[in-house]
Structure 1
Amino acid sequence: MSTFQILPPPTCKGMTVLDTEAFRTVTPVVAVMIKNPRMLSKLSKECPPNDLLQVKKFPTVFEENGKRFLVLSTRFKEISDTANGLDPKTYELLEEAGYEFFKTEIVTTYKYWTSEEVLRAVLPDDLSDVPNSFSMVGHIAHLNLRDQFLPYKHLIGQVIIDKNPSIKTVVRKLDSINTTFRTFDMEVIAGEELFEVEQAESGCRFQFDFRKVYWNSRLHTEHERLVKLFGKGKAICDPFSGVGPFAIPAAKHDNLVFASDLNPESYKAMVKNSKLNKVNPEMLHCYNEDAREFIKTSIKKLHELRKQTPTIVLPPKGKSKKKNVEQPQKFDVPEYYSHYVMNLPASAIEFLDAFRGIYKDVQFTSPPPQPLAHVHCFHKFDPHLPEPTKGEVYEAICSRISDSMGYKISPSDLTLHDVRRVAPSKDMYEASFLVPNAVLYDEV
């Protein structure tokens, strides 16, 4: 069985400014002009594969100036090499077709190789971990570079652009995400300074300035998972909404969503994205408030809406089977939230004290069910010790949640979803639990 060969790029160690001409290579090969062109197909199929050109991205049969010819394996550099190197079966087929050997060459250029192959040819051998992975946000590629790669940052960025046609801008993160608004300083290392992006996710379009808001494309699966979990016909509270990756899809799935973000730019983008995605304005209420205060006043906001508009009439989405007319739908505003989604993994747990007493002094027509809180959080562990067991992680996160709420919950009260590993000794989880009535009514 033959295996396609990939021609290695020339070694360009130490290059810091990309020179694509340096990657041009010429490989001498032997070709065969076939006197009976009708035999070309039979030759390419029946000749032993190891006798023919088996190089990725190059055909076995070439065409030039209206003539087609067969190219032999790269192990044949000279015509004389064929005398003892070709399989007898190949010679037999060539004799049947009539042939004439001649020397030619195949040319490979910078376009031939992948970004990883180019970077391995350029970076010093002691830098074995090629920085070839990145996150994409619209047309922007975002990567983190360790210090040893900084002398090559512009070359790395240019290679990423060249090998990914949809990318126009490459940025690297200059610091950690530790600002109030979860943003970070970034440097453009290749391409244009275009930060206004559009990202598709969960059947929605999101537009925003990547410099001014928080967005993580690696969380798209988590966004979709929770939105699906919400179902339809519920009231959802999102105190850390960002530009709307939970709020907008949830509202489009006929949920009543109250969403807020402290970052004014995120709030503006969420309002814009709500209109962009034609979300019913009665089903998504956007705020620019502190998350703690937003949670504390969330029930009040919901009841004020219920008092003003107890029933929301939704536009028709289809035709009745009995009547060939479009039928509107009615949505009765709930008295309570079914879900609170708290997607601020660095500190969401610290905001759980805001649930203390939010049901106290609130008039419900009947005792409301406990809301389900979905709290994203990080869990770090010592890389020099054995990785913690699932039980140990449950215990640690339960303890943090209990300390913040001022009410002890047990691991059995918690559902823990492993979202992703963000660093060698740091994982992201989503902890789901029913907020205890003792907390909601401040009876702790």
Structure 2
Amino acid sequence: MNFKVIKTLADILKESSHLLYRFDRKSLKIDDRPLSKFRYIYSRMLEEMSESVAKDLTPPLAVRGMTQLQREAFVKSVKVPGFKVPKKEIGNSQKAWKPLVLKLPGLKPVAELSDNDPHKDSHSLILLDPEKLTTGSLSQQQVEMLERLGLNTKKPDKFEVKLGYENWSVADVIRAVLPSEVENVTSFTQVGHIAHLNLKPETLPYKELIGEVILDKIPSVKTVVNKLNMIDNTYRNFSMELLAGEDNFITQTKEHNCVFELDFSKVYWNSRLSTEHQRITELVPKESVVYDVFAGVGPFAIPLAKKKCCIVYANDLNPASHASLVNNVKLNNIKTGHIIDSNLDGKDFILTVIREDLEKRLKQQIDSSVLTQKSDSTDVTDVPNGETNSQSEDSTQKPTQGHKQSTQAVNPSFVIMNLPAMAVEFLCNFRGILKNCSLLENNETALRSVLPHVYCYAFSPKRDMDTELRKRVMEALDCPLPSDFNVRLVRNVAPNKEMMCISFKLWPELVLDVQESAKRNNEDEIVDFDEPIGKRQKLVKESDLL
């Protein structure tokens, strides 16, 4: 403990000379303010000690500023604490020392002693992490066991160890090379054999070195690339430059027991959306109908068809993404007919594929209702005089198998719109999508049952993100949102940029284009669309008369 720390502790005690004082003449109350200050100073002291110890276990300062990788320049000799243990006692004693061993890539913590050591044949050298010894986290039992083995925990013996490039991690090497004022490169995305970085301008002079280090240190990586621009083109992929390794961008990756093969240079793939893919897969009920407007290579479509037996209409405008989607259907052994693929613009997909399937499902639901009504009517008609209808005598009698099938509820449906930069702009295509459908007269209940639930992804600023996104969606739909809409955060994209998901169920007024626009209403209005259309229209007319 240095003089500065001792003086600070003395000042703290001087400030509060009354550590104990009487309270209510019966009990003593402790003034714990100096104790809190003491704990803070002590923790800072331990942190400073750990930092000074850790400096010995970092690459040499001479590598700072290096732009061309020179592996031999990373050689360094350091002294680390250790002790000798008889070889026959290593197994029985490891409970005491194993949590304290020095862990560095390519370094064995249980080492052979040097040739000139008299105990070379009978003992082994246990190398310890100096930081773990100085944190004060050792239990009394550990201290006693280590001291019995000959280790002085307060002043351990030091042994010289030679470290090299192979003993430093990716983060250690890059941190040592970059200037101290430049933020370290601590993470990257791996897709199959490809490591993908998004380097900041200040790290670009070191990009080739960074690529080589990642290639050296991570055996599964064969190609290292750096992103060159934002994802702002038609096909949602970005330009990239090869930093190190093979010029091969066709790769395979696994996500939630599904296999995806793709050309990383031509399609969009983001491993950081893995949790969101799983969330939606778990949320959607089995055997649902799903319309994936911007399906990409199938991160939503494939697991929904494979795990939930959904019928998925999967679309993407990018020909490379569509080709990968078709291939991934085969790779994952998806049953025939469970993924219906298309290569259309999102607007065309909504106005043709989704519209046609909604009309087909609506007709099936209406026909099912008609069959149910006919089945019910046969139970009370054509009964001969003097005879009694058995159905009327026992109203609790179970329907026949055919009757049960005719009244079966329609499978739920969902629209997934995962194009955060532009998806909101496509919502307008749902307005009036069924206004020309000839099946809608007196069939509002059937219509409500087939309308899908929408999951629309969007980017939003960190501040007022819920309000900002809701406003944009209402402007796109040109009407208020239903009361049961939901907005949630998916992930942070940048310091002031969030990826959000807004979800709501389509409603009859929207798809029939009969609701007044948001421009003529309060733009913050939220309407309960569970009220039947006719009743709401009647109320509006009555209010107009007032």
TM-score, structure 2 normalization: 0.64
Greater CA deviation, 102-111 or 223-232? 102-111
CA contact (8 A) 2:109 2:126 kept: no
CA contact (8 A) 2:488 2:501 kept: yes
Offset of 1:61 from its aligned partner? 5.0
Mapping of 1:29-428 within 5 angstroms? 38=88, 55-57=102-104, 58-62=108-112, 67-71=121-125, 105-127=160-182, 129-252=183-306, 253-297=308-352, 298-301=354-357, 338-362=413-437, 363=439, 366-369=446-449, 370-381=451-462, 388=463, 392-409=464-481, 412-428=483-499
Distance 1:186 1:163 in 2: 22
Offset of 1:367 from its aligned partner? 2.9
After superposition, what is the alpha-carbon deviation per residue over 1:295-331, rounded to whole angstroms, capped at 9, x for unaligned? 11113146569999x9xxxxxxxxxxxxxxxxxxx9x
Tell me the amino acid that sits aligned with residue 152 of structure 1: Y
Distance 1:221 1:91, change over 3 A: closer
Residue 18 in structure 1 maps to residue 69 in structure 2: yes
Structure 1: gaps of 5 or more residues: 77-86, 95-101, 311-329, 382-387
CA contact (8 A) 1:198 1:207 kept: yes
Distance 1:242 1:418 in 2: 22
After superposition, what is the alpha-carbon deviation per residue over 1:198-217, rounded to whole angstroms, capped at 9, x for unaligned? 11113210101001111111
CA contact (8 A) 1:306 1:334 kept: no
Tell me the amino acid that sits aligned with residue 22 of structure 1: A
After superposition, what is the alpha-carbon deviation per residue over 1:51-87, rounded to whole angstroms, capped at 9, x for unaligned? xx953344255267883534487999xxxxxxxxxx9
After superposition, what is the alpha-carbon deviation per residue over 1:261-302, rounded to whole angstroms, capped at 9, x for unaligned? 111111111011011111112111000001011111113146
Higher relative contact order (CA 8 A, sep 6+): 1
Tell me the amino acid that sits aligned with residue 60 of structure 2: P
Secondary structure of the 1:413 match is coil
Distance 1:301 1:30 in 2: 72
**Alignment coverage as a number of residue pairs:** 390
Tell me the amino acid that sits aligned with residue 150 of structure 1: L
Offset of 1:37 from its aligned partner? 5.4
Secondary structure of the 2:57 match is coil
Offset of 1:437 from its aligned partner? 1.5
CA contact (8 A) 1:306 1:335 kept: no
CA contact (8 A) 2:113 2:125 kept: no
Secondary structure of the 1:402 match is helix
CA contact (8 A) 2:489 2:500 kept: yes
Tell me the amino acid that sits aligned with residue 211 of structure 1: S
Higher helix share: 2
Distance 1:144 1:247 in 2: 28
Distance 1:340 1:19 in 2: 53
Tell me the amino acid that sits aligned with residue 489 of structure 2: D
1:430 paired residue number: 501
Distance 1:409 1:26, change over 3 A: same
Distance 1:237 1:89, change over 3 A: closer
Tell me the amino acid that sits aligned with residue 237 of structure 2: T
CA contact (8 A) 1:29 1:71 kept: no
Offset of 1:346 from its aligned partner? 0.3
Secondary structure of the 1:367 match is helix
Offset of 1:125 from its aligned partner? 1.4
Distance 1:54 1:333, change over 3 A: same
Distance 1:37 1:164, change over 3 A: closer
Distance 1:277 1:334, change over 3 A: farther
CA contact (8 A) 2:296 2:321 kept: yes
Distance 1:268 1:406 in 2: 35
Structure 2: gaps of 5 or more residues: 1-45, 131-142, 151-156, 368-404, 516-546
Distance 1:306 1:264, change over 3 A: farther
Identity of aligned residues (%): 38
Higher strand share: 1
CA contact (8 A) 1:302 1:336 kept: no
CA contact (8 A) 1:195 1:211 kept: yes
Greater CA deviation, 356-365 or 342-351? 356-365
CA contact (8 A) 1:44 1:61 kept: no
RMSD, aligned α-carbons: 3.8
TM-score, structure 1 normalization: 0.77
Distance 1:73 1:360, change over 3 A: closer
Tell me the amino acid that sits aligned with residue 65 of structure 2: G
Offset of 1:45 from its aligned partner? 7.5
Distance 2:283 2:175 in 1: 44
Distance 1:69 1:263, change over 3 A: same
Distance 2:455 2:191 in 1: 25
Offset of 1:219 from its aligned partner? 0.5
